[in-house]
Amino acid sequence: MSLSATLPLARRGFGILIAGTALILALAVLVPALLGYQRYVITSGSMTGTYDRGALVFDKVVPTSSLRAGDVITFRPPGHAGLVTHRIHTLTSVDGKTVLTTKGDANRVPDAWGPLTLGATSQARVAFQLPYVGFLIAELGDRKHRMIVIGLPALLIALSALAGLWRDSTPEGRPQAA
């Protein structure tokens, strides 16, 4: 097989690989959302060993009455702007309210914010994870990277279309009448 015949095959194979990867990533993110799962990117090392940095965790909202010590939940601690995903260390019921302490698996001591009172009747509990996929999701949050992911393929398609028009406009590129 000659080099000129191999290049279109390689280009087609590369295109299929890129499209397949994009499809798998889209399905991995969209299908769980359609099934009612919330997704979060693990950004710190406090759960290392269970959910490493860059993991994409999917939470299912469950009744607080179904929570048990050892479950991993995603919540907003008092005085924090962002969400945290940690394991329930202790769990008790006080006056009909769920009171718990949390701890990251890689941390030596329970979280400094102390006992949390869950006032809501439901809570997000981690159901499963996709390791490393969170790095891709986090990068798409950056406008520059998002423009590259969207703009570069659009530019390549436009250049390919222009090259086809250029090729068809030359006398050698026009189809010959029989």
* CA-wise closest residue to 84 among 65, 111, 122, 54: 111
pLDDT at 118 > cutoff 90: no
Closest CA to 117 of 162, 154, 67: 67
DSSP string for 43-77? -SSTTTTTS-TT-EEEEEEEEGGG--TT-EEEE--
Q: By the 8 A CB rule, do 64 and 98 touch?
A: yes
Q: Are 81 and 73 in contact (CB under 8 A)?
A: no
Q: Write the pLDDT tens digit of every residue in 158-178.
A: 888 888 888 777 776 556 655
pTM of the model: 0.73
What ranges do the domains of the chain cover?
40-131, 132-164
Buried b or exposed e, range 23-49, using 16+ CB within 10 angstroms: eeeeebbeebeeeebbbbbbeeebbee
Averaged pLDDT score across all residues of the chain: 86
Please state the rounded mean pLDDT for residues 106-129. Answer: 93
Q: Residues 77-96: pLDDT tens digits?
A: 988 899 999 999 999 988 88
Separation CA 68–CA 61 (nearest Å): 14
CATH classification of 40-131, choosing from 3.30.460, 2.10.109, 2.30.29, 3.50.80? Answer: 2.10.109
Q: Residue type at 106?
A: A
